[in-house]
A and B are shown apart, each in its own frame.
Chain A
Amino acid sequence: MDDKLIKISFSLNGKSLTKNVSPSLFLIDFIRDELKLKGTKPGCREGECGACTVLVNGVAINSCLFLAINIHGKELITIEGLSSIEKPLHPIQEKMLEHGAVQCGFCSTGIVLTTKAFDDECRSDGKIPSRQEVKKSLEGHLCRCTGYTKIVDAAEDYLTHSSF
């Protein structure tokens, strides 16, 4: 509480930002409590459930095991960053709804972001993932409501059918 604050500059959902943060502040708390972006969910705070997933420089990470100071100089994208006035839902989100992959929704935002990162990776490698690879890409997410099948269906549909 009384520790020295550290100045960090980063981009948040495409906009540059400078903030002073405590060295021991977790990224998840920074996002939820200071940036007031509540779409990043606390499911376990131990790296096991993936509900807190955000994108840092395009890759999916758990914000609950990441220090806020380490987004200095980086691009942070949270679930709110996928919506715009012109396009409120990302195609991944549309696929999730279309396949019934959302029940309570607590796990959903993290899954959307992981799928986005995986999609970017597949695109840059120029490959179309197999169903097994899609499942593997979701291994860091727990969902208690859906039994995963619909989530895997939605992700697979998006990853294999979105236009290259």
Chain B
Amino acid sequence: MNFEIESPLNKEELLKTLSNLQSKKFRFGAGFTDLLIEFKKFNPVETTVINLAQLKDEEFCSIRNDSGEIQIGSLVKLAQICKDTYIKDNFPVLHQAANALASGQIREVATVGGNICQASPSGDLSCALVSLKANCEILNIDGKIRNQAISEFFKGPGKTSLQKNEILKSISIPINHSKNLKSGYIKIGKRSAMECSIVSLAYHFQLEKNGKVKHAGIAIGAVGPTIIFCQETVDFLLKQNINNIDEVLKLKIASMIQNASSPIDDARASAWYRHQVLYNVAKSLFE
């Protein structure tokens, strides 16, 4: 394996490197946990890697919490997400998804941006972020920011809306303070760790005191070409009180979530299994 490397140390260098390489073949590398595996499979030819691992920049590298939203730099490592107590308390779904991803060693290097830009339908962090309706903040070589909802950012397996002159800088999630949360991440695999999701379900509900659903987000992973935001289910739930969801409603919601999926057969599981399990775990949300 052979490639050239550019290691910008700050944002200016990054943008310069990026514009210099516009007519060449290049790839970003952040934590490299996906990229190096890909390179082993498909030997890179005449490729320059823009090495983001040495970049020092607040906006890229930190978790900030101000002005009604939480901003997570694309180079934030998954381990940082796991350790962040604010996230743990206010966005359990994100905490759990990060914690369920790969292993401790991988989480120490793998980044939020890498997980998003990999655009894998089974990306764990991405799934949680879709349920949270995160916004992608995309920087271009002119230093301009483009904002895009994360579910729009994904265009297919391994495909994003990112242009050649752009890089994912950070994501932001609106904060709606509520102590009354129902939020979590369900990941289905064959073993209890080091799994690539066969099905995943991310949910984040904010409830009024009486149990009425105030905000809701549900995303499902590994059951379609991209991670899917279950809009119909969410719209339905917004009219409900969580305390009134009975057996009939529960099954109805599970069916709605199931209907949003379009799984396929692959080496890890059949479409039948994915469909079935999705229904079952969706049911478990209200048990």
A and B touch in the complex (CB under 8 A): yes
User: Which residues of A pack against B, CB within 8 Å?
Assistant: 1, 3-4, 6, 23-24, 26, 45-48, 50, 53, 59-62, 65-67, 69-70, 72-73, 114, 117-118, 136-137, 139-141
Shortest beta-carbon distance, B145 to chain A, in Å?
Answer: 27
**A1, A6, A139: most-surrounded residue (chain B CB, <10 A):** A139
| Interface residue tally on B, bucketed by range | 20 to 34
Q: How far is B5's CA from A6's CA once the two chains are assembled, in angstroms?
A: 9
Within 8 A of A (CB), among B91-118: 102-106, 108-109
Which of chain A's residues has its CB closest to B5's CB? A23
State whether A26 and B36 are in contact (beta carbons under 8 Å apart), knowing that A50-B103, A61-B109, A66-B109 are contacts in the complex.
Answer: yes
For A66, the chain B residues whose CB sits under 8 A away are 32, 109
Q: How far is B193's CA from A132's CA once the two chains are assembled, in angstroms?
A: 12
- Kindly count the residue-residue contacts between A and B in the assembled complex, taking CB atoms under 8 Å apart: 80
Please tell me if the beta carbons of B33 and A69 are within 8 angstroms of each other in the complex.
no
Binary contact readout B208-235 vs A (1 if CB under 8 angstroms, 0 otherwise):
0000000000000000000000000000
For B54, the chain A residues whose CB sits under 8 A away are 70, 72-73
Question: Would you list 10 pairs from A and B whose C-beta atoms are within 8 A, ordered by A residue?
Answer: A23-B5, A26-B36, A47-B103, A62-B105, A65-B36, A66-B32, A67-B29, A70-B54, A114-B104, A114-B105
Q: How far is B54's CA from A6's CA once the two chains are assembled, in angstroms?
A: 14
Please tell me if the beta carbons of B3 and A59 are within 8 angstroms of each other in the complex.
no
B194 at interface, CB cutoff 8 A:
yes
Which of chain A's residues has its CB closest to B195's CB? A139
State whether A60 and B53 are in contact (beta carbons under 8 Å apart), knowing that A46-B37, A48-B194 are contacts in the complex.
Answer: no
B201 at interface, CB cutoff 8 A:
no
Q: How far is B3's CA from A109's CA once the two chains are assembled, in angstroms?
A: 31
State whether A140 and B103 are in contact (beta carbons under 8 Å apart), knowing that A59-B108, A61-B108 are contacts in the complex.
Answer: yes
State whether A70 and B51 are in contact (beta carbons under 8 Å apart), knowing that A59-B79, A136-B193, A139-B194 are contacts in the complex.
Answer: yes
Contact of B104 among A23, A26, A137 (CB under 8 A): A137
Please tell me if the beta carbons of A140 and B194 are within 8 angstroms of each other in the complex.
yes
Q: How far is B106's CA from A114's CA once the two chains are assembled, in angstroms?
A: 12
Contact of A47 among B4, B7, B53, B105 (CB under 8 A): B105
User: Which residues of B pack against A, CB within 8 Å?
Assistant: 1-5, 7, 29, 32-33, 36-37, 40, 49, 51, 53-54, 79, 102-106, 108-109, 193-194
Shortest beta-carbon distance, B141 to chain A, in Å?
Answer: 23
For B104, the chain A residues whose CB sits under 8 A away are 60, 114, 117-118, 136-137, 139-140
For B7, the chain A residues whose CB sits under 8 A away are 69
For B108, the chain A residues whose CB sits under 8 A away are 59-61
Q: How far is B247's CA from A64's CA once the two chains are assembled, in angstroms?
A: 50
Q: How far is B37's CA from A118's CA once the two chains are assembled, in angstroms?
A: 26
Which of chain A's residues has its CB closest to B6's CB? A23
State whether A23 and B49 are in contact (beta carbons under 8 Å apart), knowing that A3-B4, A61-B108, A140-B105 are contacts in the complex.
Answer: yes
Contact of A65 among B1, B4, B32 (CB under 8 A): B32
Contact of A67 among B4, B32, B105 (CB under 8 A): B32
20 more contacts with CB within 8 A, not counting A24-B3, A45-B40, A62-B105, are A1-B2, A3-B4, A23-B3, A23-B5, A24-B2, A24-B5, A26-B36, A47-B33, A48-B194, A50-B105, A65-B106, A65-B109, A67-B29, A67-B32, A69-B7, A73-B54, A114-B105, A139-B104, A140-B102, A140-B105
For A114, the chain B residues whose CB sits under 8 A away are 104-105
Q: How far is B103's CA from A4's CA once the two chains are assembled, in angstroms?
A: 33
For A118, the chain B residues whose CB sits under 8 A away are 104
